[in-house]
Amino acid sequence: MRVLRPEEALLIATSYSEPTQLEIAEARNVAPMCNWSHFRALVFHNETAPLARHNLARMDLLRTLPDELQEELDEAYASVEARNMSRLEITKKLLELAGERGIQIVILKGSLFALEIYKDIGYKKMSDLDVLVAKDDLDGLYEIYQSLGLISDTEMVAGDPRAQEDFSHHWPPFSTPDRLWVVGTHWGLTNPKRRYRLDIGRMWERTREIDFHGVPAYALAAEDNLHHLGVHLHYYKTGIRELADIYNLVRHAGDRLDWSMLDSEVTAAGTCDPIFHALALANAVAPDQRVTRLLEARAPEVSRLQLWDVRRKIRNISRLLWSRSTHLDIIEEAYTEFTRTDSPEARRKLYSTATRALCCPPAEEAVRLHSVGRRSRAAVGIARLAAPVRLGRVLCNELSARIFWSILVKTTLVIAVEHTAPGRQWIRKR
């Protein structure tokens, strides 16, 4: 039986899309015992302020919070709601234009869940709109993007945004000139270089038409949405913000979710490891007997390293609630900016930022990555030594080992050529 602090219990209770009467009663029982400073830290670390505010109001608990915390939550919710609402109109315009051309657009993840599961467009900050389209419809969709004045990140450096169609499963992000609205366009759901093989054809057969704020659109079946969430859950960005979508999807689908079908799809796609990781972490926060049964059945097929790592992560629920790490974003953002700039000095700084983040992460981040319990000097030291290996393993899994190492070698050579005479001589000889 797990034991939660009042703040942890309230954090989880306020993360449900539809808390039951029993869960509301439990939240009201623990609220008077909360250390509000600790609760605030948990909420903002897990990036659930908008959803927490929504549920605290629904539970008639918002007014019991300190005034300063109420104001912070109000501001967080209002900011996210306004931002998401401002992006809704161009999303609807995109869907209308696609409908006129007979292009089916599947709404993925947050934008869909806001509509169907949370019934609140402001439940969390969404970095972009993710959509799935048939590859045959890319020509027509590209023309729509041009008509809407959208520009891709690749075009900003005089590249071809459609070049990725030959080797990837998505275009680079397209956005409005002010970058307030960004769309991620997919015709597949996993990198072709990875070993996972989700059957997109079968997923399309199971899609359903939806009313997306008054405009026709499409959605994946619940099983396929869950499969997609599991495969795309970041290995270290595993806070309540990410896990809540998983367990709330399970709760929302209820008995309609076909677990045997999901199990067979996972087997066919070879995605047992990431699905086990995602469902185990979500189930540690919000236990569900159906998920538990699937995990028990799948455990013998999970790789030893994955099984060991997952068990470390869920061994202590308090540690899990503090384990969310966005450290890998530093590396990814630095590399993205590296490819966008022509300035040798800027590239040197970005390269330094990325390599330092990869090889020498701060102690606090290393501890999160390694799920360290007792923070002795020796334990922290081991965590820091293991961090480059852990980060590299995740990047290899996301990109493929070949692409990861080729990027590392290429960027290193660029820096060597631009900043050292030996580097320039080495390149000239070859």
Q: Which helix (H) or strand (E) holds 375?
A: none
Q: Which residues pair with 210 in a beta bridge?
A: 217
For residues 151 and 362, give the distance between their C-alpha atoms in angstroms, rounded to a whole number: 36
**Cα distance between the two ends of the chain:** 64
Interstrand relation of 106-108 and 129-132 (parallel, antiparallel or unpaired):
antiparallel
**CA-based torsion, 92, 98, 101, 105: positive or negative:** negative
DSSP, residue by residue, 276-331: HHHHHHHHHHS--HHHHHHHHHHGGGS-HHHHHHHHHHHS-HHHHHT----HHHHH
The whole-number pLDDT of residue 402 equals 85
Residue 25: φ, ψ to 5°: -65, -40
Q: Please name the residues in contact with 395: beta carbons below 8 A apart, sequence gap of 6 or more.
A: 328, 331, 404
The residue type of 113 is F
Alpha-carbon 375 to chain mean position: 28
List of the chain residues with pLDDT < 50: 423-424, 426-430
Joined tokens for residue 300: 């013998």
DSSP state of 172: P
CB contact at 8 A, 314 and 323: no
Strands 174-175 and 182-186: antiparallel
Give the span between the Cα atoms of 314 and 291, in whole angstroms: 15
User: What's the confidence (pLDDT) of residue 428?
Assistant: 46
| Assigned CATH topology for domain 87-220 | Beta Polymerase; domain 2 (3.30.460)
The span from the CA of 243 to the CA of 239, in Å, is 6
**What pLDDT score does 259 carry?**
96
- Rounded Cα distance between 192 and 186, Å, is 12
Pairing of strands 129-132, 182-186: parallel
Residue 330's nearest CA partner among 295, 365, 294 is 365
Label residue 336 exposed, middle or buried (CB < 10 Å: 0-12, 13-18, 19+): middle
The string of DSSP letters for 36-90 reads HHHHHHHHHHTT-HHHHHHHHHHTT-GGGS-HHHHHHHHHHHHHHHHHHHHHHHH
Domain ranges within the chain, ordered by starting residue = 6-65, 87-220, 222-323, 327-429
What pLDDT is stored for residue 114 in this prediction?
Answer: 95
Q: What is the DSSP letter of 260?
A: H
pLDDT of residue 377: 84
| Sign of CA pseudo-dihedral 98, 100, 102, 104 | positive
Q: 10 Å Cβ neighbour count for 288?
A: 14
pTM over 0.85: yes
Dist. CA 69–CA 65, nearest whole Å: 6
pLDDT of residue 373: 66
Q: Residue 51 and residue 78: Cα distance in Å, rounded?
A: 11
Residue 354 makes CB contacts below 8 A (sequence gap 6+) with: 330, 331, 334, 335, 338, 411
Q: Give the C-alpha separation, 376 to 12, whole Å.
A: 29
Rounded-to-integer distance, Cα 175 and Cα 152, Å: 6
Strand spans (E) along 133-247: 151-152, 174-175, 182-186, 208-212, 215-219
Instruction: Give the β-pairing of 182-186 and 208-212.
Output: unpaired
| 339, 411 contact by CB (below 8 A) | no
